[in-house]
A and B are shown apart, each in its own frame.
Chain A
Amino acid sequence: MQQTKIGLGLLALLVLGSLLALLLTRSGDGPLAMGDGAGRPGAVPVEKTLAASCAACHGADGRTVGMEVPSLAGMPEVELAERLRALAAGDQAGRLMHQLVKGYTDEELEAIARVFAAAEEGAEDGAAATRSEAEGGQ
């Protein structure tokens, strides 16, 4: 009796798992189904991928290794969000940044500010590698 219950439980778990798997994952060889991956464990949080789109210029995690582009890591969230929104609204002049922020919604800019506010200041872990071999880097 006990064994049957466990068996039924396991079977239910398997069926549930299969249903979940069918819902959440791609099946067969078709293109990936689109959906909202935000907040799910195992998926990259959307605010992190948004912030990553800034990293090419501002450094991974907002820690810059180029002097002319400001570091964003550790900037107070409210201040950064305000500056980004002001740039997007045209209230603050910029050389380049005002062009890029216009491609994001206010909510996205706030999410980006949240990520960089939470990032620690300081040099990026692998910053030494950004010195070319000729300059005595790695």
Chain B
Amino acid sequence: MTRGGSPASRSRGVSRGHDRRGFLRLAARAGAGAVGVGLLGGLAGCSPGAAKARVVVLGGGFGGATAARYLRRWDPGIEVVLVERNERFTSCPMSNLVIGGHRRLDQLQYGYGGLSALGVDVRHDEATAVYPHQHLVRLASGGSLSYDRLVVSPGVDFVVDDVPGCEAGLEVGRILHAWKAGPQTTALRERLEAMPDGGVFVLSIPPAPYRCPPGPYERVCQVADYFRRAKPDSRIVVVDANPEIVSKGALFQGAWETLYPGMIDYRPGQPVTRIDGDAMLLEAGGEIVRGDVINVIPPQRAGEIARRAGLTSSADGRWCGVEWRTLESLAVPDVHVLGDATESAVGMPKSGHMANAQAKVCAAAIIAAVNGHPPDPDPVMTNTCFSFVSAEEVIHVSSVHRWDASSFEFAPVTGAGGLSPERYPAGAEHAWSWARNIWADMLG
């Protein structure tokens, strides 16, 4: 990217900003190149020390916060604006432990002060529209932001109209999703506490791809762990739209049979077809399943702003295709998409760790572009994921992802990564170390 106009000198107004950008683009297309644009920037009053580019990041989760932090760490000459609707970050990883009763939600919450201290302009606001041709984001507060590069990391939204009764049940709160860590997580914990012993907890798992592949099965473990300690006559029914456990299958199965024998009724290949929140039941595989506490994890798609920005390029219209070595959108130039909202590459999970890895590759690619260099042609991404099968014991899966020139895909490296051979008792400390380090890595 050679558009060297300083954001300080650039008008923030819609029309003037557009005109100037148009001017720069014309100049670039006329072959003026880096030197020419540099001169234009000088003529426009580019003061020394002003930012060389402005990157706007939408979403302060694992992807967006990491991108904002690494852009500033690696190139302080870039102005970074982070737009995040929540005042505090709440971690989805580890939030199943709130449901199991081992942590409070506020122990998984952090402010954005570390990013502000690094010079990230954190705006607690919401993007309502993206105008790619104008390189402009409109904000719910009424203002707008111009950008040289946009990073969209919106996480997932729920598809609630696939199954009759889903939307109504969630809306009145008779059923819970608890799939975005927050009030729903605490509410699910409270309902399990209020449920009498001998009750039934029903969990519905959506078809893959969804956020956090092992998450639903870890949740089953955490609820079972709580029941074993507090309500041993209670039962768990799991209706899974997928033909088998999506992640760490044998390890979860082993934990269920050994630690919670007879408690878990797992029904694979049974997508939920109807939900009745008033009657507290759902229908799956032609059978009616009644529950005292019903947890429906709805099917998912990229966060709404991704759709509005025209980024959802997958065949089903739900996910954002990206060039994996830069995370640049396949649909809209100068826009990068991170995390769960991406159309996952082969073997790539929708996880916080993966989003963190993608964000660093994206930050390096943007910095290269801003400084007039091609991106790294062979970046590496890793994933590590721990699941708590009880209060202390964990299992893990890991993988390494790279560009494979023969298949033309960003794929897991053969021979690298893998599962833990079994659950291990000291794993809780490892998992917490991971959590503390990745939160620090993204938020400072």
Contacts and interface: CB of A to CB of B under 8 A. Distances in A.
B312 to A, nearest CB: 18
B372 A21 contact: yes
A1 interface: no
A34 B437 contact: no
B28 A27 contact: yes
Given A25-B33, A49-B360, A100-B382, 17 more contacts: A17-B34, A22-B33, A24-B372, A32-B369, A34-B374, A37-B376, A42-B368, A44-B74, A44-B368, A56-B382, A64-B437, A66-B433, A103-B380, A103-B399, A103-B401, A126-B440, A133-B109
A43 B437 contact: no
Closest 5 CB pairs of A and B: A103-B400, A66-B433, A21-B33, A17-B35, A42-B371
Interface string A45-62: 010111011111111100
Interface in A107-138: 108, 124-127, 129-130, 132-135, 137-138
A102 B443 CA distance: 29
A130 B111 CA distance: 10
Interface in B395-411: 396, 398-402
B357 to A, nearest CB: 6
A68 B380 contact: no
A66 B438 CA distance: 10
Given A43-B368, A64-B433, A69-B434, A57 B106 contact: no
Interface residues of B, number: 85
Interface of B: 1-2, 28-29, 31-36, 70, 73-75, 88, 104, 106-111, 113-114, 117-118, 323, 325-326, 328, 330, 333-334, 353, 356-357, 360-361, 363-365, 367-377, 379-382, 384, 396, 398-402, 413, 415-418, 420, 424, 426, 429-430, 432-441, 443-444
A134 B415 CA distance: 41
Contacts of B369: 25-26, 32
Given A56-B384, A57-B438, A100-B398, A32 B34 contact: no
